[in-house]
Amino acid sequence: MDVDDKVFKVAAVQMVSINNKEVNLKKAEEFIIYAAKEKARVVVLPEMFNFSGKLNQKRENAEPIPGPTINRLKDLAKKFNIYLLCGSILEKSYEKGKNIFCNTSVFLNPEGEIIAKYRKLHLFDVTLPDGSILRESELITAGNEVVCVKTSLAFFGLSICYDLRFPELYRKLAREGVQVVFIPSAFTLQTGKDHWEILVRAKAVENQFYVIAPNQIGKDTEGHRFWGKSMVVDPWGTILTKAPEKECVIFAEVDLSYQQEVRKNLPSLSHIRKDIFNF
């Protein structure tokens, strides 16, 4: 990795997705192009950026990977010479004699190639404070693999939304040496107002890496409300940038020399009691 590459600009896209895939994709493409023109080297979309709708609509709009959505974004990544984290889409895959659906994130390199694919490990099966019941597992099959990828720019780790509540995943990524973690999300308003910032900053502090966390904002066509407040956080837990209450792109600089300095001066990861904890 060249010295010049130790500092690079990243972008997080905050948007609301509706039950019209073409509208969502055009919006995402506009944000990506804007971020690329602002010299972002890495652009990160939120969870389920290409479609949000009723259960039957989600099934109908699921795609293989690669498929129409990813192929469009592969072209953009190549055209603008960027790394592009395709937040997540609903992936349809035929495995073990049946169709399954996964909440899947795809990472593209500047050549437009898929360099990592991650299926969400932890599914959002909860009852919200207002009594609303959400069961992601009604449709989606959980993944079973922790995913990280080394590039010429940095060592990246992948996760999605509700994964944020499970520190074991992020500690494993940290132990692998990951420098930057993606957390594309559709974090709800009800949980986000109390937990979003705390959880995002905690992951950065505990594991001493950068966190890029784009979130959905506003209300989708089904009436689900999302917290927004997309952010980029450094390894000290400092919020480098936070999105306002609207669809937008936010920018920050990742400085890998600073990340190395934090880990050197406060070497908590090397102080883990491996004789007690199974890490």
List residues with catalytic annotation. Answer: 47, 120, 161
Both structure tokens of 51: 């479609």
Question: Does residue 184 have a cis bond before it (omega within 30 degrees)?
Answer: no
**Beta strand 217-219 with 239-242: parallel, antiparallel or unpaired?**
unpaired
**Beta strand 83-95 with 98-108: parallel, antiparallel or unpaired?**
antiparallel
Task: Look at the block and give the residue holding tokens 């491996």.
Answer: 274
* CB-based contacts of 118, cutoff 8 Å, min separation 6: 104, 105, 107, 143, 145, 147, 158, 159, 160
Please state the separation of Cα 90 from the chain's center in Å.
14
